[in-house]
Structure 1
Amino acid sequence: MTPLWGTAAACRLTGLSRATIYRHRDPTPPKPRTPRRPSPSALTETERQQVLDLLNSPPYQDLAPAQVWARELDEGRWWCSESTMYRILRAAGQNGERRNQATHPARTKPELVADAANQIWSWDITKLRGPVKGVWYHLYTVIDIWSRYVVGHLVATHEDGQLAEALIADAAARERVDPDQLTVHADRGAAMTCKTITQLLTDLKIGRSHSRPKTSNDNPYIEASFKTLKYDPTFPDRFGSIQHARQHCEAFYTYYNHEHRHSGIGLHTPASVHHGTAGQIRQQRQHTLDAARAAHPHRFGRRRPQPPRLPDRAWINKPDNTAPDQSTTPPTTTHPATQS
């Protein structure tokens, strides 16, 4: 007997899926799925848990996986690759972006480059909350953009060009900066453009450069260092006194210069790069990776693992070589190290 309704029409009336009807009509049982064979280079569940426990351990729970990877490598221990650490955290729901970054329209921009320490310094002032509302302390910081080494800082109760002048002069003397060796880059705040700073740089034969108005991207190294300071777990919501602020900043910048592994300089410390010991440390890291590859060759494949390379240059606004109008535009300073 021919059915009055077709399968498709009957399914529309009853709300059932045609695939379900056809599957129930087929007497052949479904074939069991073949379990997926794990990759020989994959970590076991025990090893993945050990890496997760390491990342969540008290010394490392507030550090990025790149920091943990570099520190363990410096101690002669290799667990897995840096990307595997990120995958393990992602699988555990412990990885993600913190916030969106601001963007700014393209304008004429300063172009600075350094290929050694004490060629380009960047400095700025940021505010720190005091003990009560309306009370602020001002942190002056000077950083070498090539090594990310903080060459000088101070905390004061107000912005003052004379304080900035003394800070830069002291840092230049301590670093033994020669005439025409250094360029100092800053934004266009009142303390940065005051007559005392201008006269000091002229007297010391130090070049000067300034950001575009309201464009923080023109001073990225100092802004990034302030973000590292204020996102550190030890950074308080308010400082109880100016002595408290000074003690905290002194301790933080000692840590930042001598312990913090910076992603922009091959996960070395700024002091190591600034004082020329990063090459030796990179060789030691290579020996550790070679030993790890010899012990676990199936986890590395054919390529020889290598530690992150040290960058040969640090740019503020690297010019776009594809644009002919920018390739011939001179930088905003006469310092030889800034020629593009």
Structure 2
Amino acid sequence: MTLVQDAQRDGVRLAKACQVMGVNVRTYYRWVAEGEVTADRRPDADRPDPANKLSPGEREAVVALCNAPEYRSRPPAFIVADQADKGRYLASESTMYRVLHEAGQQHHRGRQQAPQRKRSPTTHQATVPNRLWCWDISWRVPRP
């Protein structure tokens, strides 16, 4: 803030000085509102929990539902859709993923194998145009 104030005393416009320092003009005004520079109050701000935050009991119900025998190998997308068909809504798909992640159970669910990285083929290399055809018989042709 002192650099911005020094630049402003030297004749630089406030908007340009704030832009160079990477501070928004409104932030500057908020920080010097009482006539002197105030400390950053963001870490001490009161941040109440959202009204729709799941309670610990609801989180346990989500984990228990995902671990039920009929759903233990199913992803949350299937679980949410199946529960909606039955007329029951416990949590959204993204909330289920978040709760499973917090419970240490967010991993591949299902009978098929987890996706694996494929390495690029290294057996063939094209050195000239039209060299890598699947019916290339140039290896059979005698060379002079």
Q: TM-score, normalised by structure 2?
A: 0.44
User: Which one has the bigger strand percentage?
Assistant: 1
Q: TM-score, normalised by structure 1?
A: 0.20
